[in-house]
Amino acid sequence: MFEVIEDDVKEYDLLHPCCRKEMYEFFYHNEENHSNCLDNINTNMREERPIIHPLNVFMNTQINSDGSISVEKPLSRAGDRLVLKVLMNVRIGISACSVSESKCNGEKCTAIKVIVEDS
Ligand SMILES: [Zn+2]
């Protein structure tokens, strides 16, 4: 589907589904309607998928020697880039993850910049 043209970080996660409202309630006891990637993508793509398995770009997930999985502080820095060449027709949903309660996004959420070019 894609060809990687440039990749500054080379760290991704394919294990975790999109964050969702229930995750914030369970792990962080945030009972408010916390913004989340599942709702962001479903809303903007006009879909109602119950679960989405994304490519979590720059997410630093570690598999530990005891078999546990931990999410660590990102290795990415401001300005790091992932450049992909799309090789077929695709429909892509993108969400800047709103987890500020853990190491996932370095405990603070920042904007992402997405550029789509037609060649
Ligand atoms: Zn998220």
Which residue has 């792990």 as its token pair? 27
What six digits make up the tokens of 79? 């300005």
- Measured in Å, residue 18 CA sits from the centre of ligand 1 at 5
Does any domain span residue 10?
yes
Does any domain span residue 112?
no
Does any domain span residue 114?
no
- Measured in Å, residue 45 CA sits from the centre of ligand 1 at 16
- Measured in Å, residue 35 CA sits from the centre of ligand 1 at 8
pLDDT of residue 32: 79
Q: Over pLDDT 90: what percentage of the chain?
A: 83
Does any domain span residue 51?
yes
Total domains in the chain come to 1
37-60 burial code (b ≥16 CB/10 A, e <16): bbbbbbeeeeeeeeebebebbbbb
Does any domain span residue 14?
yes
Domain span holding position 44: 2-105
Strand, helix or coil at 71?
strand
Q: What is the pLDDT along the chain (119 residues), one digit of tens a residue?
A: 999 999 999 999 999 999 999 999 999 998 778 999 999 999 999 999 999 999 999 999 999 999 999 999 999 999 999 999 999 999 999 999 989 988 998 888 988 999 999 87
Does any domain span residue 115?
no
pLDDT of residue 17: 95
pLDDT of residue 33: 85
Does any domain span residue 116?
no
- Measured in Å, residue 11 CA sits from the centre of ligand 1 at 16
Does any domain span residue 90?
yes
In sequence order, the 6+-apart residues with CB closer than 8 A to the CB of 50 are none
Note the pTM of the prediction, 2 decimals.
Answer: 0.89
pLDDT of residue 96: 93
What DSSP line would sit under 19-54, residue for residue? Answer: P-HHHHHHHH---S----HHHHHHHHHT---S----
- Measured in Å, residue 68 CA sits from the centre of ligand 1 at 21
- Measured in Å, residue 119 CA sits from the centre of ligand 1 at 30
- Measured in Å, residue 87 CA sits from the centre of ligand 1 at 26
